[in-house]
């Protein structure tokens, strides 16, 4: 009886998946083999990601907020996903055409100002998540606590952490942050029989991602990912909205929150109609700002959005290169996000890949369904699937001379851990400063600094002798933790790297382009810096060690000869290969010295301790 009761308790653990979208959000659950979307009382699976802070004090979320966006445009918040985890200055171009006010708060953090209130993007997102939570609890008939929340694959550490913070504010425990394209691939592989290579094209309201996965025997392995956190259906709407604003008799219309909200709403409607028809007509009365009558053909709309669509296709080609595949080797194309309903998107993608995309799964629901599958796996109810995701950009540590030693390469599978041993560059150095960088270039000045910390208490030994083991650990959410440990003493220091705001799209694009353009120059510069730094450290360390160690005359002569040869090459600015060869020769004849120095240091430390 007790065994049966325990088994029943174990099987009742329910973890739901939530797709927190720019335009719409929804939740799903898997209880059994097939996931299902959790619907509200109106049987609508989609909840608009909108919050209206009504003048009477009420907080309205979802459809109720959307219904008030024209009545209270300056108090109705939407597209907040584009602000989360970023600085106010980075968000400047996103907020220009918003009807509500966004200001720069403390530490340049964006704050949504409504009346006397100043709210963070995390707080607004938490209101949406809390509404989704209530919808799920109503549909399931019991409380919900544990969730899996999805984010764009190209979200950086700060944006992922901000999303987790929003979940916590909503009273939810986020077990996993899951990349949206990966979630969609899980939904695509529902029956477990779809082995092959899959390209997931995810064009939502505010972000774009493309991921290439290999599915085999229930293992979902991400081969490569690429994306743009500043590209989505909202940008299509903005192009149409600008065309409408240009037709207004009053040029002050773009400064009126009511006009902005009405125009954005009309633009969204035009876009949706143009996905079904060859042309669409708009008649819009904006009161004192005038009336607008406009007919837009699909051809005109497609010509306007073509550059944006091309940006997504460039990401597709880049992801295929990173995965080491030709597009012809992709078995299936999966569409995710409401913006993939735009005919030009589907047609251009099919023309590029040579394959018609799958449309049997609702693109608005695929991410939530996949998140539900991952949630069920984390709940311990399904052990048949394994999900292996990746990080988007390389991570490394700054070394002597300003180079970056990459420990984790971009598109590495996570979770992952990599360790590498380093040493000091100055005699008797007792503190090491570690600087963590992200990017694809060889020199630290060309990469993005993520964080810094110090390891103190290193034994005062000649340069090159201390052994500092640096470990990079990236967890399943893509959050980096760096640990440094001095191997002889066991002293340790660590830091969890969460960038203040993260990388912007332009920075990512610049890093990737420059890494290709300057690859050869970077490699040569790095080789020269590292070879010279190592040679100089060896000369200094060996000279210092010779003052301590007692060696036979013949061995002393050999060491002096090797040091002199290496110093001569340094003075002559010799090529890296020559410096490496001479450094190796010196290493061979100084093995005994290293052992003697370490013994002497230990003996000295013991004597000092006894004297105390």
Q: Are strands 196-203 and 332-336 parallel, antiparallel or unpaired?
A: parallel
Cα(174)–Cα(27) distance, integer angstroms: 13
Query: Could you tell me which residues are beta bridge partners of residue 333?
Result: 199
Long-range contacts of range 517-523, CB-CB < 8 Å, 24 or more positions apart?
A: 518/441, 518/446, 522/441, 522/442, 522/443, 522/446, 523/442
Radius of gyration of the chain (CA): 29
Residue 180 designated active-site: yes
Residue written as token pair 């735009």: 342
Q: What string of DSSP letters covers 25-66?
A: EEEEEESSSSEEEE--TT----EES-EEE-TTS-EEETHHHH
The CA-CA-CA angle for residues 579, 581, 586, to 5°, reads 90
User: Is 530 considered catalytic here?
Assistant: no
DSSP 527: H
| Whole-angstrom distance, CA of residue 222 vs CA of residue 413 | 7
CB count in 10 Å sphere of residue 173: 12
Q: Is 217 assigned a catalytic role?
A: no
With 0-12 / 13-18 / 19 or more C-beta atoms within 10 angstroms meaning exposed / middle / buried, residue 115 is exposed
| Structure letter (DSSP) for residue 287 | G
Which segments of 286-438 are extended strands (E)? Answer: 291-297, 332-336, 386-390, 395-399, 403-408, 413-414, 416-422, 431-438
> What CA–CA distance (Å, rounded) separates 498 from 163?
13
19 is known as an active-site residue: yes
* Catalytic residue from among 81, 133, 271, 544: 81
**Residue in the structure block whose two tokens are 């929804």:** 26
Catalytic residue (choose from 19, 156, 376, 477): 19
Are 241 and 248 in contact, with CB atoms under 8 Å apart? no
Instruction: Check 122, 156, 202, 477 and give the catalytic one.
Output: 202
CA–CA separation, 602 and 612 (whole Å): 16
- Which is the catalytic residue, given 90, 122, 157, 180? 180
C-beta atoms surrounding 518 within 10 Å: 16
Judged by phi (left if over 0) then psi (alpha if -120 to 50, else beta), residue 565 lies in alpha
Q: Which residue, among 315, 317, 471, has the nearest Cα to 395 in the 3D structure?
A: 471
Positions annotated as catalytic residues are: 19, 81, 180, 202
């Amino acid at each position: 009886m007790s065994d049966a009761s325990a088994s029943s308790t174990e099987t009742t653990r329910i973890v739901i998946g939530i797709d927190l979208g720019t335009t719409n959000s929804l939740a799903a659950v898997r209880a059994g083999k097939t996931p299902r979307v959790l619907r509200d009382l109106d049987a609508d699976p989609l909840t608009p990601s909108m919050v209206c802070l009504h003048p009477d004090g009420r907080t309205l979320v979802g459809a109720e907020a959307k219904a008030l966006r024209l009545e209270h445009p300056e108090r109705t918040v939407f597209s907040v996903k584009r602000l989360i985890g970023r600085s106010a200055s980075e968000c400047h171009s996103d907020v220009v055409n918003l009807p509500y006010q966004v200001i720069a708060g403390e530490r340049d953090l964006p704050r949504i100002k409504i009346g006397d209130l100043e709210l963070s993007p995390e707080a607004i997102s938490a209101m949406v998540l809390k509404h989704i939570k209530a919808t799920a609890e109503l549909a399931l008939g019991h409380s919900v606590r544990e969730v899996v929340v999805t984010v764009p694959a190209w979200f950086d550490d700060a944006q992922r952490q901000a999303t987790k913070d929003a979940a916590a504010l909503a009273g939810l425990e986020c077990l996993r942050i899951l990349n949206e394209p990966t979630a969609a691939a899980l939904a695509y592989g529902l029956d477990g029989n779809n082995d092959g290579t899959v390209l997931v094209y995810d064009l939502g309201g505010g972000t774009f991602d493309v991921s290439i996965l290999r599915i085999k025997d229930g293992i979902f392995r991400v081969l490569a990912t690429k994306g743009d956190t500043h590209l989505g259906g909202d940008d299509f709407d903005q192009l149409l909205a600008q065309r409408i604003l240009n037709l207004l008799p009053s040029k002050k219309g773009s400064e009126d929150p009511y006009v902005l909200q009405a125009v954005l709403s009309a633009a969204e409607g035009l876009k949706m109609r143009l996905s079904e028809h060859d042309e669409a007509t708009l008649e819009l009365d904006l009161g004192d700002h005038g009336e607008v009558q406009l007919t837009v053909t699909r051809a005109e709309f497609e010509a306007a959005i073509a550059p944006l669509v091309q940006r997504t296709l460039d990401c597709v080609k880049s992801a295929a290169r990173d995965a080491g595949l030709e597009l012809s080797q992709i078995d299936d194309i999966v569409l995710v996000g409401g913006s993939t309903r735009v005919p030009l998107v589907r047609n251009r993608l099919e023309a590029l890949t040579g394959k018609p995309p799958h449309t049997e799964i609702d693109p608005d629901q695929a991410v939530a369904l996949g998140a539900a599958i991952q949630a069920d796996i984390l709940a311990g109810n399904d052990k048949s699937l394994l999900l292996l995701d990746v990080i988007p950009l390389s991570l490394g540590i700054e070394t002597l001379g300003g180079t970056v030693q990459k420990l984790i390469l971009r598109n590495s599978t996570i979770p992952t851990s990599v360790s590498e041993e380093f040493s000091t560059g100055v005699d008797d150095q007792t503190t090491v400063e570690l600087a963590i960088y992200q990017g694809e270039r060889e020199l630290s000045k060309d990469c993005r600094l993520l964080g810094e910390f110090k390891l103190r208490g290193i034994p005062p030994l000649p340069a090159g002798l201390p052994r500092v083991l640096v470990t990079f650990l990236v967890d399943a959410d893509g959050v980096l933790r760096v640990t440094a440990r001095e191997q002889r003493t066991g002293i340790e220091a660590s830091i969890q790297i969460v960038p203040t705001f993260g990388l912007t799209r332009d920075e990512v694009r610049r890093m990737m382009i420059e890494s290709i353009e300057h690859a050869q120059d970077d490699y040569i510069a790095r080789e020269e810096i590292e070879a010279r730094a190592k040679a100089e450290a060896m000369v200094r360390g060996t000279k210092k060690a010779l003052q301590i160690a007692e060696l036979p005359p013949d061995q002393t002569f050999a060491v002096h000869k090797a040091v002199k040869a290496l110093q001569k090459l340094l003075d002559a600015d010799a090529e890296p290969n020559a410096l490496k060869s001479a450094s190796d020769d010196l290493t061979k004849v100084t093995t005994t010295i290293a052992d003697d120095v370490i013994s002497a240091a230990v003996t000295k430390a013991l004597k000092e301790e006894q004297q105390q």
